[in-house]
Chain A
Amino acid sequence: GAGVSQSPSNKVTEKGKDVELRCDPISGHTALYWYRQSLGQGLEFLIYFQGNSAPDKSGLPSDRFSAERTGGSVSTLTIQRTQQEDSAVYLCASSTTSGGYQETQYFGPGTRLLVL
């Protein structure tokens, strides 16, 4: 079966431009997560969706970052006016929900973003 997919796999952009990163979760997974991993760093939580709503946006680093999820499926992470410090691997994960608990998170391969 298909796992979590992300696109593009690599993105190079110029400082100040906007970028959109896409995540296709595993079919039927109600929860979706975005994380960021800067070079040589650990994973940093950004935002979590349950269905189409985001009960936890606490990890978004600034108001230049936003995310949405439609139809309980695909999610888009948008970074406006990109800065060089936004360069990182952006990882998406999805999971099912059982009794209020999230089951195992399955991660996608990530999008490598480079801001010049």
Chain B
Amino acid sequence: DAKTTQPPSMDCAEGRAANLPCNHSTISGNEYVYWYRQIHSQGPQYIIHGLKNNETNEMASLIITEDRKSSTLILPHATLRDTAVYYCIVSRYGNKLVFGAGTILRVKS
């Protein structure tokens, strides 16, 4: 599975959109992009995933570039409860997820 690169940390003001980038330049055509997050002392929580098209659900939006080499997770109105480590993962079959270091998102009031 392709490796991903994420910034180690980001800050966001409460109520503003949080835009978390991810680079996956070696992604292959049949690999999906998954986003999970882990709030302190809890198990990871699924957020969203996509293949080519942009995706939106009740939690977030996923924007994938046309060449699929990078993506951005958007939390439209960040709250303090969104403070967590966010993981961008590329996987073909969605089974063996390889978690990197992720991005620590700090939402501040």
Contacts and interface: CB of A to CB of B under 8 A. Distances in A.
A100 B100 contact: no
A103 interface: yes
Contacts of B43: 4, 91, 93, 107-110
A95 interface: yes
B6 to A, nearest CB: 11
Given A42-B102, A56-B95, 11 more contacts: A33-B97, A42-B87, A91-B43, A91-B44, A93-B43, A93-B44, A101-B93, A104-B46, A105-B97, A107-B44, A110-B43
Which of A58, A91, A104, A109 gathers most chain B CB within 10 Å?
A104
Contacts of B98: 45
17 contacts: A31-B95, A42-B102, A43-B97, A43-B99, A44-B99, A45-B96, A48-B95, A58-B96, A59-B96, A91-B44, A93-B43, A93-B44, A104-B46, A107-B43, A108-B43, A109-B42, A110-B43
Interface string A75-116: 000000000000000010101000011111111111000000
Interface in B80-109: 87, 93-102
A105 B99 contact: no
A27 to B, nearest CB: 18
Interface of B: 42-46, 49, 87, 93-102
A22 to B, nearest CB: 15
Interface of A: 4, 31, 33, 35, 42-45, 48, 56, 58-59, 91, 93, 95, 100-110
Given A91-B43, A91-B44, A42 B95 contact: no
A100 B94 CA distance: 10
A103 B97 contact: no
Which of A45, A105, A106 gathers most chain B CB within 10 Å?
A105
